[in-house]
Chains A and B, each alone.
Chain A
Amino acid sequence: MKTPISYFLILSAVLFAIGTAGVLVRKSALVIFMSVELQLNAVNLSLIAFGRMHGDLQGQVLAFFSMVVAAAEVVVGLAIIVAMYHRRRSANVDDANLLKW
């Protein structure tokens, strides 16, 4: 018997919610970054689940694209975090608040 699609979607939603909460509540840029990755993977999970449901490979292909883009984004994002740490000796996003009002 196949696992029902709803299981995958609920797991995906839970992971996405955890990721979102992490983005919103954590101060460390690195952790926020990891939370974003969690959100992306939650989405990947639901993509693959839908692909499986339809019995074709489109969902998996899209998930691969998503992972490639995420990898590229990690490069840029980590570079920004490293540069920020170099200047301020801190990776706390609340310290980077000059651009306001």
Chain B
Amino acid sequence: MVSQVNLPPPSSFAPGVMGLMWLVPALPLAGAAINLFFGRRTGRRSGVIATLAVGLSFVVALVLLFGLLGHSSNDRTFVQHLWSWVPVGALQVGIDLRVDPLSIVMMLVVTGVGALIHLYSIGYMEGDPREARFFGELNLFVAFMLLLVMADNFLLLYLGWEGVGLCSYLLIGHYFERPSAAAAAKKAFIVTRVGDAAMLVGIALIFVTFGSLNFGQTIGATNPAGKSLPVFTAIALLLLAGAVGKSAQIPLQVWLADAMEGPTPVSALIHAATMVTAGVYLVVRTHVFFEVSGTALTVVLVIGVLTALYGATSALGQDDIKRVLAYSTMSQIGYMFFAAGLKAYSIAIFLLVVHAFYKALLFMGAGSIMHALHDETDLKKMGGLRKAMPITFATFVVGWLCIAGIPPLSGFFAKDEILAVADHTGRVFAWSVALLAAFFSALYLSRIVFLAFFGPLRHDTDPHESPKVMTVPMVVLAVLAVFGGVLGLTELNGVLPKFLEPVTGPVPEATGGLSTPVLIAISIVVALVGIGVGWLIWGSGRIDWVALRSRFRRTHATLEHGWWFDSVYGAVLVAPGKAGAAFAAYVVDRRWVDGFGNLVAKGFGVSSNLLRHLGNGMVRRYALFFLVGVVGVLWYLAARA
């Protein structure tokens, strides 16, 4: 059953204010150009330039939003054709930007949260020797991300997709003097490339199937009657592979935790709020393929639930505050995939939006702590920061309660609506697994809060609150995280679901299950139990958590190493890959290819060594050769004639 998709024929030109849409990606691109080409001259001002570029882009996006709201809800798709890009026979691809309810939401998140993170970075990156480069790359990232969400065809989307991957690589490797950072950057790039390669095949398959790459002629014109079902399953699964890689879902999740080697604002912007959610955007954007296939949608659901649980449990074993948050991000994006798998696309986007608020906030908090403790990320060495850093503490608590799922904060509504839809559509097992993940979510974040902010300080510095340029964005995000839930209240009639409905279709109707108040009560109880257990272990002081950890050493090691995924991939994929590379390099290349070349050279050497003795300096001998040659040629000519 395909849910109602009203993709109206897009207006051929973008009238009025909608014509400004090209400015949205162009402004950050200009900022990137300034900072990357004239970095030596911009110096300390680079941060201001970059923040202004993204901030102005946000203002333009707001203008576009109001322009969009001025049209009726079924007439909110605008496409701007900038120029023709790939005009090759039947393949006509243009630089076409699209503004519709889904992309405007993504644009606002990317530019809004992005601008706040840029502002925060001015304080965080102070004194960094490569500041201009950092801000240039950050702006370039925003430009590519906007291209990704505004693209009106798959090829342009792919351009943005690869662009953000490139910027992610560059920014993770910002401290490239550290071998671990360089390795993490490579890992992130290569692992996501696995998914991207599959995605490119999927895009090619879309072109073969539909004869076009435009959204309007592919997603908008899906007619399952004329095409075979396996094709849709193949397209959906190939696109999903790309989404899974980019969004760090099982089985391509291994790069995200290592990506925390990058500067903290990068983790906040790219690896929490925006880029890693691109996979969710892709699935929601192309949900028609998934629904026609059916199988693919189930795969999305399973991957989402598994990653939600995987991330939440692995987060418990991490001592590095940023790695906890990285696994938390995986888990939360798992919830988004789960929601998409339940056909509750607008709720997936709702969670995406509020998650961008509170996860960026949590990363900013972590960055603020690192700022105070000389880049210390080890939770074991923190503690007691509550009094020294009141603003960081207060905002962190907001993020904590959001992820734990305490009403009326935004995280509660988003997660609870997903759980409610799961239960109401009869996915009781998936619902219970997600609920278990919710318990662990409350637990791991309580662990951070109690270890970092309560108890005695276990660090030999005098911590201080971060400057205003860092705390103001945190406060703004905290306010958004507290009140963001209003956007999606309730799942059927909220502002955001209603706004997105022309693109995503309505949230599936309840067909049974427990009543909503009961579900809410269960969610709250689970969250409170999680927080309570967290307090008991790490906050109350009644349990020696160090002893507890050594008692459950093996469990802890399993969680710490993310269920040994890295080790398994190392043994199954990396080791054979290295062996194959060594075989190719030292046997195939050095012995066979080079050997053949050397053999030929040796043959020439031996034969010319024999022949050179003909040149013995005897003039008369040369004359004889000459005669023999002339006679030979004449003979040949005579014989031919």
Contacts and interface: CB of A to CB of B under 8 A. Distances in A.
A76 interface: no
Interface string B98-134: 0000000000000000000000000000000000000
Nearest to B627: A20
Interface stretch (B62-70, B390-398, B618-626): B618-626
Nearest to A97: B617
B627 A24 contact: yes
A101 B618 contact: no
Contacts of B627: 20, 24
Interface of A: 20, 23-25, 27, 32, 93-94, 96-101
17 contacts: A24-B623, A24-B624, A27-B620, A32-B620, A93-B619, A93-B620, A94-B618, A94-B619, A96-B617, A97-B617, A97-B618, A98-B617, A99-B617, A100-B615, A100-B616, A101-B616, A101-B617
A97 B613 CA distance: 13
B612 interface: yes
Given A20-B627, A24-B627, A101 B620 contact: no
Contacts of A99: 617
Nearest to A94: B618
Nearest to A23: B623
Contacts of A94: 618-620
B618 A23 contact: no
Nearest to B624: A24
Interface residues of B, number: 11
Interface of B: 612-613, 615-620, 623-624, 627
A101 B624 CA distance: 18
A27 B612 CA distance: 24
A20 B615 CA distance: 21
Contacts of A25: 620
Contacts of B612: 101
Contacts of B623: 23-24
A97 B620 contact: no
A32 B622 CA distance: 14
Q: Which 4 A-B pairs have the closest CB atoms?
A: A97-B617, A100-B617, A93-B619, A100-B616
Nearest to A36: B623
Contacts of A24: 620, 623-624, 627
A25 B621 CA distance: 10
A97 B624 contact: no
Contacts of B620: 23-25, 27, 32, 93-94
B46 to A, nearest CB: 68
Contacts of B624: 24
A19 B624 CA distance: 13
Interface centre among B615, B618, B620 (most CB of A within 10 A): B620
Contacts of B618: 94, 97
Contacts of B613: 101
Contacts of B615: 100-101
B364 to A, nearest CB: 79
A96 B624 CA distance: 17
Nearest to B613: A101
